[in-house]
Chains A and B, each alone.
Chain A
Amino acid sequence: MSGTPLIFICTCYETLSRTIPRGVLRTGIVARRPNAHIEFVPSLCRREDIDLIAGLIKERKHASVLLAACSPFARGNVVLDGLARRNPAMQASLVDVREGCAWVHGGNPDAAAAKAVDLVCMGLAGLRCREHSSEFHFQPVRRVLVVGAGPAGLAAAGTLARLGIEVSLAERMSRPGGLLNQIGRLFPYNMPGREFLATFLSEASHPCVDLLPKTSVTRIEGDPGRFEAHLSLEGRDMTVTAGAVILACGAMPVLPQNRFHSGELSGVISQLELETRLNKLEREESAPAGIAGAVFIQCVDAREDARPYCSTICCPTALKNALRLKNLNRDISVTVLHRGIMTPGRDLEELYRQTMASGVRFVAFSPASPPEVHGDGFVSSVSLTDALSARRLEIAADLVVLSTPLKPRPETASLAGDLGLRLDEIGFACGTEPMQPLVAPTPGVYLCGAVRWPVSAQEAVDQGRAAAIKAAGFLAQGALDLNRLFLPGSRRGPASIRTEACSRCGRCVSGCPYGACRREKNGPVTVCGIRCRGCGLCVAVCPSGAVRIPEQDSASVRAMLREIAPRPTALREVHR
């Protein structure tokens, strides 16, 4: 087995040689590495090429190989992956001499050649100190804990069950469905909420799904693949072991408190209250009695300083309920006071059009001069300044409906803390935006539905299914090389800590973005391999140099820096 690496330089069908001639490159490398084994190849990235070089490496018994080729994003990673598949034990490294050198320094061939030589020598230096992370055997428990049995949680549980994965579905209330239980009709298709819910209830009533009503999750411990969730079932404690967790605990409606005389004047109600009344009327097939004019006020307690966000579902909900009122009695005059109606997408646009066609009036108001509700015991009228015409309007009303937003549930924060999730400034949970919004930074943790942001029932279901598929994919992984477990292309294993050098200061423990570095009581600091994603923060903060990432540790970076340094040749000799 030869200790020196075999160097393959891809000339990319001689396009590289136009800027950096082969001879110059070879001479440059040999001047600094007299024993270098250099092979020029016209291409590296076709399957035949990879087969060929893999064969060559085997035949000449080289332990490591350096590829000087294009950037990893062009074809470099393909070649590395191909080599790793053919010979997993081999150390392979890639330096980018095409995009990163020949192509950006085309105007200065001499400098480009010098840089290419530097890059190859840097690659060699890095290879010398490079180590493989050990194989990582990961055996997750084939059970998923789904927190919350609203539309998102039910859809997730149903999807997982169909894939044959055991599910513990913890629901705070006595029956599943969440907020959907209070909704009579769903926008945009006006589908009965009960029917919609029934579909997902039947999907989730599967032998694989263990529905736990009246259960709250008190604490979640453990590591991905084996989470220990402590549940409280009507005061009785129990533990569930699950490989993955799907957080679907939803959001809760804000109730209008003392806004627009709600609670003082009868006839001023919340959108949720209207929903309940409409459900009853529709069930009884009777018309609303004693209502001649209804006024909806949008963005109550939302999009203002105290609660600056748009809850996204209140506009469609108001439109839907305005239509329902109109359908019960055409003669009721319905006015929606708004600060801009938010109905994105094909279906919601259609709903908006239908609502306008049915005779519902829309009046915009400015947040600086909000509408005023008048009445004495009973609500009688609403006055406001139309933001578009600047005219004062007085609208007779005996029903005022306040559209309020959804807000995060209180348990979101504690569960997020246990699971290493970040909350936004409002308190909704964040995934790894922008790339994987349903995936938490901690492996094996997923989130869906209104726990992330207010969503419609349909969207919640879509997200639930998506999160379920992600969780199933996570559990399907068995004994795998950790390099490829979470971040394809990172080619880095987890950090490792040399216990004898560790001073136990705990900086890595507090700094780790994934909670992977941890310290037992007075014991040494260890790295949880399944949580670590190789970012290297622990390496940077360690004052004793005890932490390292085997694939690219500081010794190899130091050696690489030495190759760049503008030193006289004599001194370089010493350093080699």
Chain B
Amino acid sequence: MTEPASDILSPNGCPEIRAVVFACRWCALVGADRAGKERMDLPASFRVIPVECAAGVEPDLVLRAFAEGLDGVAVMGCHLGGCRHNEANRSARLRLMLLQDLLEIIGLDRRRLLLSWGTAHEGYQFAGLMREFTAILTGLPPVDSRLLGPC
């Protein structure tokens, strides 16, 4: 049986928050890069996976991330109307908003799935989102990975 996430403690004794960020390489990945260039100090809670477009993030993978015991998932794409893939992000937004509703139904807080459309393009924006997201996740109880069954 999998141990709950809260058993793994960071050096300062708090449960360590783990989140994954699917960052569109045209937008949020640039923001992440700029945050690094400007040496902003961010919580080390997130791991970035670059994607070609936010529309390519399968809802399946988001659920899988929670089933693996992650505390949060962020999907970051271009601003609506500025998608590099011919408005593909509009459908992604609808799809993932629906997924937020589904998360609520199965007992996960909808804030665990962070959606950003064009609000992470600058370094300070990405940093702000990550700090805020980590703060939210820290305040939530640990994910019970049994909610999503075996993976």
B37 neighbours in A (Cβ, 8 Å): 74, 99, 103
User: A256-298: which residues lie under 8 A (CB-CB) from chain B?
Assistant: none
The reply to whether the CB of B87 lies closer than 8 angstroms to some CB of chain A is yes
Question: Are A566 and B47 interface neighbours, CB within 8 A?
Answer: no
Question: Are B48 and A100 interface neighbours, CB within 8 A?
Answer: yes
The reply to whether the CB of B108 lies closer than 8 angstroms to some CB of chain A is no
Instruction: Select the stretch in A182-190, A339-347, A518-526, A529-537 that faces chain B.
Output: A529-537
Across the A-B interface, give the 9 residue pairs with the lowest CB-CB distance, nearest first: A536-B56, A99-B36, A111-B44, A513-B86, A535-B53, A565-B68, A535-B85, A537-B55, A441-B86
Partner of A535, one of B33, B49, B55: B55
Question: Are B68 and A554 interface neighbours, CB within 8 A?
Answer: no
Q: How far is the CA of A562 from the CA of B85 in the complex (A)?
A: 29
For residue A114, which residue of chain B has the nearest CB?
B44
The reply to whether the CB of A105 lies closer than 8 angstroms to some CB of chain B is yes
Q: How far is the CA of A489 from the CA of B33 in the complex (A)?
A: 15
The reply to whether the CB of A13 lies closer than 8 angstroms to some CB of chain B is no
Partner of A565, one of B40, B49, B69, B92: B69
Binding site for A on B (CB under 8 A): 2-3, 5, 7-8, 10-11, 16, 18, 20, 25, 29-30, 32-33, 35-37, 39-42, 44, 47-53, 55-61, 64-65, 68-70, 82, 84-88, 91-92, 95, 127
Question: Are B82 and A540 interface neighbours, CB within 8 A?
Answer: no
A435 neighbours in B (Cβ, 8 Å): 84
CB within 8 Å for A554 and B18 given contacts A112-B44, A432-B86: no
B58 neighbours in A (Cβ, 8 Å): 539-540, 554
For residue B49, which residue of chain A has the nearest CB?
A560
A565 neighbours in B (Cβ, 8 Å): 18, 68-70
A110 neighbours in B (Cβ, 8 Å): 11
For residue A113, which residue of chain B has the nearest CB?
B44
CB within 8 Å for A513 and B87 given contacts A98-B36, A99-B33, A558-B61: yes
Question: Are B41 and A104 interface neighbours, CB within 8 A?
Answer: yes
For residue A420, which residue of chain B has the nearest CB?
B86
The reply to whether the CB of A118 lies closer than 8 angstroms to some CB of chain B is yes
CB within 8 Å for A558 and B64 given contacts A115-B47, A540-B59: yes
| A96, A114, A115, A536 interface centre (most CB from chain B within 10 Å) | A536
Question: Are A562 and B61 interface neighbours, CB within 8 A?
Answer: no
A562 neighbours in B (Cβ, 8 Å): 68
The reply to whether the CB of A213 lies closer than 8 angstroms to some CB of chain B is no
Q: How far is the CA of A514 from the CA of B92 in the complex (A)?
A: 15
Question: Are B49 and A536 interface neighbours, CB within 8 A?
Answer: no
Question: Are A106 and B68 interface neighbours, CB within 8 A?
Answer: no
| A: interface residue count bin | 35 or more
A514 neighbours in B (Cβ, 8 Å): 85-86
Shortest C-beta distance, B50 to chain A (Å), equals 7
A96 neighbours in B (Cβ, 8 Å): 33, 36, 48
Q: How far is the CA of A96 from the CA of B35 in the complex (A)?
A: 13
Q: How far is the CA of A476 from the CA of B84 in the complex (A)?
A: 24
Shortest C-beta distance, B122 to chain A (Å), equals 14
Question: Are B56 and A539 interface neighbours, CB within 8 A?
Answer: yes
Question: Are B70 and A537 interface neighbours, CB within 8 A?
Answer: no
Q: How far is the CA of A492 from the CA of B47 in the complex (A)?
A: 21
Question: Are B39 and A103 interface neighbours, CB within 8 A?
Answer: yes
A534 neighbours in B (Cβ, 8 Å): 52
Shortest C-beta distance, B101 to chain A (Å), equals 17
17 A-B pairs in the complex with CB atoms less than 8 angstroms apart: A72-B33, A72-B50, A99-B35, A100-B32, A104-B40, A108-B44, A420-B86, A432-B84, A434-B82, A535-B52, A535-B85, A535-B88, A537-B55, A539-B58, A540-B57, A540-B95, A554-B58
Question: Are A564 and B39 interface neighbours, CB within 8 A?
Answer: no
A111 neighbours in B (Cβ, 8 Å): 10-11, 44
Per-residue 0/1 for A531-575: is the Cβ within 8 Å of any B Cβ (1 yes, 0 no)?
001111101110001000100101001101110111110010000
| A119, A540, A557 interface centre (most CB from chain B within 10 Å) | A540
Q: How far is the CA of A115 from the CA of B130 in the complex (A)?
A: 15
Q: How far is the CA of A327 from the CA of B31 in the complex (A)?
A: 57
Q: How far is the CA of A104 from the CA of B39 in the complex (A)?
A: 5
CB within 8 Å for A105 and B44 given contacts A72-B50, A537-B91: yes
A106 neighbours in B (Cβ, 8 Å): 39, 41
Question: Are A561 and B55 interface neighbours, CB within 8 A?
Answer: no
CB within 8 Å for A115 and B86 given contacts A535-B56, A537-B55: no
For residue A434, which residue of chain B has the nearest CB?
B82
B50 neighbours in A (Cβ, 8 Å): 72
A114 neighbours in B (Cβ, 8 Å): 44
B85 neighbours in A (Cβ, 8 Å): 513-514, 533, 535, 537
Shortest C-beta distance, A547 to chain B (Å), equals 10
Q: How far is the CA of A492 from the CA of B84 in the complex (A)?
A: 15
Q: How far is the CA of A153 from the CA of B129 in the complex (A)?
A: 47
A118 neighbours in B (Cβ, 8 Å): 47
Q: How far is the CA of A551 from the CA of B19 in the complex (A)?
A: 23
For residue A510, which residue of chain B has the nearest CB?
B91
Shortest C-beta distance, A417 to chain B (Å), equals 14
Question: Are A422 and B91 interface neighbours, CB within 8 A?
Answer: no
Question: Are A422 and B2 interface neighbours, CB within 8 A?
Answer: no
Partner of A100, one of B8, B33, B57: B33
B60 neighbours in A (Cβ, 8 Å): 545, 554
For residue B127, which residue of chain A has the nearest CB?
A104
The reply to whether the CB of A490 lies closer than 8 angstroms to some CB of chain B is yes
Q: How far is the CA of A101 from the CA of B33 in the complex (A)?
A: 10
Question: Are A540 and B70 interface neighbours, CB within 8 A?
Answer: no
CB within 8 Å for A71 and B36 given contacts A105-B44, A514-B86: yes
Per-residue 0/1 for A490-514: is the Cβ within 8 Å of any B Cβ (1 yes, 0 no)?
1010000000000000000001011
Question: Are A564 and B82 interface neighbours, CB within 8 A?
Answer: no
